[in-house]
Amino acid sequence: MRRIPLPLPRAALWALIVAAPAAAVAAPDAPIDAYRRAHEVQILGELDALVRLRSVAADPQGLSDTAAHLLAALRQRGFEAQSVSAAPGTPPLLLGTLSSRGARRTVVFYAHYDGQPVTPSQWRSPPFVPVMRGAPPGEPEQEIDWRKATPPFDPQWRLYGRAVSDDKASIVALLTALDALRAVGRRPTVNVKVVWDGEEEAGSPHLAELLRAHARQLRADLWLVGDGPVHASRRPLLYFGARGVLGLELTVYGPLQALHDGHYGNWAPNPAALAANLLAQMRDDTGRILIPGFDAEIRPLSAAERAALAALPPVDAELQRQLGIGRPESAEDLPDSLMRPALNVRGIRAGEVGAAAANSIPTEARVSLDLRLVPAQTPQRVREVVEQFLRAQGWTLLSEAPDEAARRAHPRLIKLAWEPGYPALRSDMDSPPARAVIATLGAVAREPVALLPMIGGSVPLYLFADLFAVPVIGLPIVNHDNAQHAANENLRLRNLWDGIDAYAALIGRLDW
Amino acid sequence: MRRIPLPLPRAALWALIVAAPAAAVAAPDAPIDAYRRAHEVQILGELDALVRLRSVAADPQGLSDTAAHLLAALRQRGFEAQSVSAAPGTPPLLLGTLSSRGARRTVVFYAHYDGQPVTPSQWRSPPFVPVMRGAPPGEPEQEIDWRKATPPFDPQWRLYGRAVSDDKASIVALLTALDALRAVGRRPTVNVKVVWDGEEEAGSPHLAELLRAHARQLRADLWLVGDGPVHASRRPLLYFGARGVLGLELTVYGPLQALHDGHYGNWAPNPAALAANLLAQMRDDTGRILIPGFDAEIRPLSAAERAALAALPPVDAELQRQLGIGRPESAEDLPDSLMRPALNVRGIRAGEVGAAAANSIPTEARVSLDLRLVPAQTPQRVREVVEQFLRAQGWTLLSEAPDEAARRAHPRLIKLAWEPGYPALRSDMDSPPARAVIATLGAVAREPVALLPMIGGSVPLYLFADLFAVPVIGLPIVNHDNAQHAANENLRLRNLWDGIDAYAALIGRLDW
């Protein structure tokens, strides 16, 4: 799905995710921390090298070079690793397995090595030449030649470069965690598998097919997804699901040509008014979806999920202030409201407004919707319900623009263009592996871990759960203010260091 | 008000105006007709000279030259005439009076001498160099050097040039009618006054002020407005009113910046959805206005008006076919539906649609409306009713964009930008002067006269009625397919000849 860079909103989203009281606060893992302190130059060198590889869709060679580099990095750590592609020239998916003697469980760590497209003119420095920046408190930020600096480095420093946060930091944290565990003489408590995607920012068009083709070697007990940022308070976060999504473009037809609305207003159907009325029939002012049967498939929240939501302290007032919102749509707070399906109006267009407005009845009105789905809604079923609703309202549904005969023959014509969409996932927060992940991360985290049953945005977590029938948990490590998808993407060193701790715990301590 | 060039719609509009059975069919006035046949070269020469004068807003000198030319033309016919301006440099209004011994009644003939702006590149020949075109049936149209041709000319020929139809034809028809009456030795039966506007296409910004200032010398018993085209069947037309108009631009506010609709959908108010819901509360799918009190001031149609509407044969089926309309908005036919007020959505804009649509909640939605008013609604009262409705729905009304504090303080913010607007007019079709006009025109018309109580489009007829408390009747003469306001504006000679007959009758026979 399309994403838009939204620095404040993303920050604000994560601001709502706060510590669940259940998660214990503990000290970092001292030996792992010591290893990291002793190897900061080496770790940053690995990340720097990775960011220099231009792994963006516009650069197939850069993606291929990145895959080759990472394949070598995996093999160097003892992985059985392979690079698989759906077709020649498509960015490879990297699969790796590192078995651990005595391990009873197997965990797949998913991340993506491709990055969002770049607009270099918007960057302060070239996106594929990593630059460290930092400043003492209260002084202006400046570039730092970290290779000449003496470690340990200031953890507030940030490394700038495309994909440094999204997701190359997670990849380097995992590799470093393995190095650290080996250096301190600990064997992984789980068998480690990696799935590193080269097409995530392009919508992972071949991921399902490749996962299916390699299902046997991907057998596991748990998936951990190293995508997304932590909470804006800089507390760690685990998320257990994501809403699904289903895009829909509607076109409502009026007269064949724009008509003078003085001479025809009240007689020639006005498609802008029809589209507005249709939207009002689909959704009320509180965001409640009015389409009959739309909520028939919704699975209620579990006790654990309700408890997790209840444990989140209210942040709505601050968000309302930041975003200039006088009244939230619903009576619920933000986390609760995101547990429901949403009918979002992405856009509506008909005629013209302001100085360009002519006194005319437009020929058509276009409405762009995205439906956010929750378990157990399916795109297929939602599509059926919406189409049934439209037919019941007297609309004739089209997949192409109507010809003149069709326009004359039918009183209400609407063209529907559905995007494929995908369903939501809420993984069980109370399963043994989930409890083990929460406890294990909590044991090494510097602050309480925030737990979210489901993020409001859509990530195709369902795919892993559907294909492999295993719990799927989101394990983000990077700072919320990383300018993900925008210019000047960056990674705060503290987040990388904490991320290494997190990965080391989830590889070197996890068991259930 | 803004107008858009709509060749088919305008044609289609006038197509619905058909003969009222009440209007008698009679022979043209033979002496007037004979005069015209003997003077076709002279009449066309007068029109040709007038079209060559560049009377468009972009050419103040052209407007001034045209006014001087017309002032001379009036004085030459014995008018007491003057040119008055609201301010130096503004196009003058021409006022003329030709008293007739023994006349009991005084009629003001209104027309405008300014034309719409031109885009010469769209014209087949320069807009201010009149060109005659015509062809025998079935052969391609070609330019005709009419000065070298032998009259009487083919009445299907057309003269092309800016303003030739809108309204210079009406001006020349009046002047020629006076010449013809004098030539055949008839004295006008009414005192003739003219009001020739030089700013009509610019919205007549100074007209009311100038009319008020010269109210005493404009005393009259009737106004006849020589604007607009006749019926598409080429039958003559009289109209007795026009809907009023009141434009309104609405802006509904959402969050301060676009928000990811996955992470905020259902919580941050979506202004596109709010705008759609608001529109649905204001107007239903049949065009019925739902705002309480909106219809409180509506004056019912009179028996004569209802009879005139009933006399119009149905043309809706053909219009539906031409315009690709499967279902008219209302259960009424077009003429009836135009007798009601309309809430037209000129445009609606929020976010983006199609490939440009982002998964975001837009920051604002804009809606452009025009309200078409009917007697006795006033812009002021309609504005009050709409604002009262919005407040009752919980909206805080603004005249400027809100600041951040206002956005935080109010749950529903809407900015309203009202255009000044003006009221409708339906003049009494059954008054003695109206009956006299209908009968007088019917007596000389080649075909039955179509009678329309009120046109759906807005023309400020109310102004004349308000200022002078007299009947106001629309007396168009030009062909419906004149490309009014567009390139290649033209006048069919038959329409000019019939127009001369009409003016001669209404000056030389009218009495009541």
3-state DSSP call for residue A271? helix
3-state DSSP call for residue B504? helix
| Residue (of B284, B36, B49) closest to B184 by Cα position | B36
Higher pLDDT, B146 or B485: B146
**How far A480 CA lies from chain B's nearest CA (Å)?**
14
Q: What is the interface size between A and B, counted as CB pairs within 8 Å?
A: 362
The answer, yes or no, to whether residue B12 has pLDDT greater than 80, is: no
Nearest to B347 among A243, A350, A407 (CB): A350
Dihedral sign of CA atoms B245, B246, B252, B257 in order? positive
Beta B425-426 vs B241-242: how paired, if at all? antiparallel
Asked whether the beta carbons of residue A13 and residue B334 sit closer than 8 angstroms, the reply is no
Contacts of B77 (CB under 8 A, 6+ apart): B98, B175, B178, B179
Rg from Cα positions in chain B: 25
Nearest to B267 among A267, A329, A346 (CB): A329
- What is the model's pLDDT at position B43? 98
Averaged pLDDT of chain B: 91
Asked whether the beta carbons of residue A267 and residue B330 sit closer than 8 angstroms, the reply is yes
- For residues A260 and B6, is the Cβ–Cβ distance under 8 A? yes
Higher pLDDT, B140 or B386: B386
Percent of chain B with pLDDT over 90: 77
Residue with token string 């008014």: A273
| Residue (of A508, A489, A366, A346) closest to A441 by Cα position | A508
Asked whether the beta carbons of residue A275 and residue B272 sit closer than 8 angstroms, the reply is no
Asked whether the beta carbons of residue B457 and residue A367 sit closer than 8 angstroms, the reply is no
B chain contacts of residue A265, beta-carbon cutoff 8 Å: 287, 338, 342, 344, 370, 372, 456
Chain A residue closest in CA terms to B279 = A276
Asked whether the beta carbons of residue A338 and residue B1 sit closer than 8 angstroms, the reply is no
Percent of chain B with pLDDT over 70: 94
- What is the model's pLDDT at position A26? 60
Nearest to B409 among A326, A347, A368 (CB): A326
Alpha-carbon span B284 to B268, nearest angstrom: 27
Lowest mean pLDDT among A373-382, A455-464, B381-390, B488-497: A455-464
Nearest to B272 among A245, A277, A348 (CB): A348
Mean pLDDT of B211-239: 91
Q: Residues B160-178: pLDDT tens digits? A: 999 999 999 999 999 999 9
User: How does A482-500 read in b/e, with b if 16+ C-beta sit within 10 Å?
Assistant: bbbbbbbbbbbbbbbbbbb
Asked whether the beta carbons of residue A328 and residue B267 sit closer than 8 angstroms, the reply is yes
Asked whether the beta carbons of residue A272 and residue B345 sit closer than 8 angstroms, the reply is yes
Alpha-carbon span B435 to B307, nearest angstrom: 14
Alpha-carbon span B485 to B122, nearest angstrom: 12
| Range list of H helices, B214-354 | 261-264, 271-282, 303-310, 316-323, 334-337
Asked whether the beta carbons of residue B280 and residue A284 sit closer than 8 angstroms, the reply is no
Q: Residues B101-122: pLDDT tens digits? A: 999 999 999 999 999 888 899 8
**Residue type (1 letter), B429:** M
CB atoms within 10 A of CB A21: 10
Contacts of B197 (CB under 8 A, 6+ apart): B93, B110, B111, B112, B113, B114, B204, B207
Alpha-carbon span B493 to A158, nearest angstrom: 81
Contacts of B72 (CB under 8 A, 6+ apart): none
DSSP A216: G
3-state DSSP call for residue A249? strand
A chain contacts of residue B274, beta-carbon cutoff 8 Å: 285
CB atoms within 10 A of CB B511: 11
- For residues A106 and A214, is the Cβ–Cβ distance under 8 A? no
- What is the model's pLDDT at position A36? 97
3-state DSSP call for residue B152? coil
Torsion of CA B176, B178, B180, B184, to 10 degrees: 180
Q: At what angle do helices A40-52 and A30-38 cross, to 10 degrees?
A: 70
Dihedral sign of CA atoms B405, B410, B412, B415 in order? negative
A chain contacts of residue B330, beta-carbon cutoff 8 Å: 266-267
Asked whether the beta carbons of residue A346 and residue B351 sit closer than 8 angstroms, the reply is yes
Q: Hey, what are A201's tokens? A: 């920012």
3-state DSSP call for residue A120? helix
Alpha-carbon span B506 to A25, nearest angstrom: 98
3-state DSSP call for residue B495? helix
User: How does A177-189 read in b/e, with b if 16+ C-beta sit within 10 Å?
Assistant: bbbbbeeeebebb
Chain B residue closest in CA terms to A16 = B263
Beta B190-197 vs B105-112: how paired, if at all? parallel
DSSP A65: H
| Range list of H helices, B296-378 | 303-310, 316-323, 334-337
Alpha-carbon span A278 to B351, nearest angstrom: 18
Q: Residues A54-104: pLDDT tens digits? A: 999 999 999 999 999 999 999 999 999 999 999 998 999 999 999 999 999
Q: Residues B172-211: pLDDT tens digits? A: 999 999 999 999 999 999 999 999 999 988 878 899 999 9
Q: Residues B307-364: pLDDT tens digits? A: 988 887 677 888 898 889 998 998 898 889 999 999 999 999 999 999 888 788 999 9
Altogether, the residues listed in chain A come to a count of 512
Torsion of CA B346, B350, B352, B357, to 10 degrees: -140
Dihedral sign of CA atoms B496, B502, B503, B505 in order? positive
Chain A residue closest in CA terms to B402 = A324
Asked whether the beta carbons of residue A259 and residue B6 sit closer than 8 angstroms, the reply is yes
Asked whether the beta carbons of residue A326 and residue B368 sit closer than 8 angstroms, the reply is no
- What is the model's pLDDT at position A6? 36
Residues of chain A with pLDDT under 70: 1-26, 232, 313
Mean pLDDT of B142-150: 94
Asked whether the beta carbons of residue B266 and residue A340 sit closer than 8 angstroms, the reply is yes
DSSP A121: G
Best A10, A263, A480 residue to mutate vs chain B (most B CBs within 10 Å): A263
Alpha-carbon span B226 to B499, nearest angstrom: 10
- For residues B423 and B379, is the Cβ–Cβ distance under 8 A? yes
- What is the model's pLDDT at position B232? 66
Nearest to A349 among B2, B259, B353 (CB): B353
- Phi, psi dihedrals of residue A312, rounded to the nearest 5°: -80, 120
Beta bridge partners of residue B115, listed in sequence order: B56
- What is the model's pLDDT at position A2? 36
Q: Hey, what are B116's tokens? A: 């719409």
A chain contacts of residue B353, beta-carbon cutoff 8 Å: 249, 346-349, 366-368
Contacts of B190 (CB under 8 A, 6+ apart): B100, B103, B104, B105, B106, B107, B506, B507, B510, B511
- For residues B442 and B138, is the Cβ–Cβ distance under 8 A? no
Q: Residues B269-313: pLDDT tens digits? A: 999 999 999 999 999 989 999 999 999 999 999 998 999 888 876
